[in-house]
């Protein structure tokens, strides 16, 4: 088996793969050496039919415990993803050292999902990121925008009286009170933004495929008028592909 770890801004996701199959996925607020050891033991006991864990990769957009790195490096073939890691795509980003590791992972997964196509990946999480890979497997870049909860929190933080409201599945166009007005502005505004970005890419690139991922992906895939492919585990799958690519080289 292979262990992939995605350390995001607000949560940590772990995935255990047997070949290309995701056999176990867990989400954590934080991860320690002890909890990681317990997880590895439990997964190994749960899936005795699979091969022992031999390889691991981490993608991190924030700092994490050095002890985790030491543990994985001492036991397994370990990769800490960076812009210098060999990849099956070409990074054409002008500052690759500043590129989020999760964005690298989803770009790799995208070209494997739709080979020979232009692909726009929209990752709806703490931020909404737009990442574009052309049909020549060149990662060109994209955009970064505040996520849904970040927008709610910004209205509460940077105003004197606006409340912090909770997210809902649907917001009417016309808010009939302050909380619903905030939901209308944020949620309908995000939908309009995403649709507009998709339309701009579609106008410039033929044979465009759209992939949605991230914690808020399900909110969008039911409401946007464009045809999209949704995959909430895109980062994990991309990390598994990068690990395979490096083990085979």
Q: What is the pLDDT of residues 28-42, one digit of tens each?
A: 988 999 999 999 999
Pair 148, 99 in one domain: yes
> Are the C-beta atoms of 12 and 29 separated by less than 8 Å?
yes
- β-pairing, 12-18 vs 21-28, is antiparallel
248 has a pLDDT exceeding 70: no
Dihedrals phi, psi of 152, to nearest 5 degrees: -60, -45
Which residue is catalytic, options 6, 102, 123, 216? 102
Nearest Cα neighbor of 224 from 135, 159, 128, 152 is: 128
Gap between the Cα atoms of 185 and 147, Å rounded: 13
Q: Write down the pLDDT at residue 12.
A: 94
Q: Write down the pLDDT at residue 223.
A: 58
Pair 197, 120 in one domain: yes
Whether 102 is catalytic: yes
pTM of structure = 0.88
Q: What is the pLDDT of residues 71-98, one digit of tens each?
A: 999 999 999 999 999 999 999 999 999 9
Nearest Cα neighbor of 114 from 87, 145, 89 is: 89
Pair 109, 147 in one domain: yes
191 has a pLDDT exceeding 80: yes
| Segments forming the whole domain that contains residue 215 | 90-238
Residue 152 sits in a domain whose CATH number is 3.30.420.40
- β-pairing, 118-124 vs 138-146, is unpaired
Q: Residue 5 — pLDDT band, cuts 50, 70, 90?
A: very high
Final residue of a structural domain among 59, 80, 101:
80
Gap between the Cα atoms of 181 and 183, Å rounded: 5
Sorted by sequence, the CB contacts under 8 Å of residue 167 that are 6+ apart come out as: 148, 149, 152, 183, 187, 219
Pair 60, 107 in one domain: no
């Amino acid at each position: 088996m292979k262990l992939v770890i995605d350390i995001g801004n607000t949560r940590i996701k772990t995935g255990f793969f047997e070949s290309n199959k995701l056999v176990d996925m867990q989400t954590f607020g934080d991860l320690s050496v002890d909890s990681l050891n317990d997880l590895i033991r439990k997964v190994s006991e749960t899936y005795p039919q699979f091969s022992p864990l031999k390889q691991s990769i981490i993608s991190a957009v924030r700092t994490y415990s050095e002890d985790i790195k030491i543990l994985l490096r001492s036991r397994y073939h370990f990769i800490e993803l960076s812009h210098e890691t060999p990849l099956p795509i070409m990074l054409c980003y002008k500052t690759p050292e500043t590129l989020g590791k999760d964005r690298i992972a989803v770009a790799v997964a995208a070209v494997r999902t739709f080979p020979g196509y232009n692909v726009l990946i929209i990752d709806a999480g703490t931020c909404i990121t737009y990442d574009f890979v052309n049909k020549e497997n060149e990662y060109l870049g994209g955009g970064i925008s505040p996520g849904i909860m970040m927008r709610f929190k910004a209205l509460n933080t940077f105003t004197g009286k606006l409340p912090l409201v909770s997210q809902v599945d649907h917001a009417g166009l016309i808010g009939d009170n302050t909380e619903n007005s905030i939901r209308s502005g944020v949620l309908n505004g995000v939908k309009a933004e995403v649709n507009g970005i998709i339309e701009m890419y579609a106008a410039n690139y033929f044979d465009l495929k759209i992939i949605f991922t991230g914690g808020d992906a399900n909110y969008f895939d039911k409401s946007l008028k464009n045809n999209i492919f949704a995959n909430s585990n895109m980062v994990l799958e991309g990390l598994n592909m990068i690990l395979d690519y490096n083990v085979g080289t």
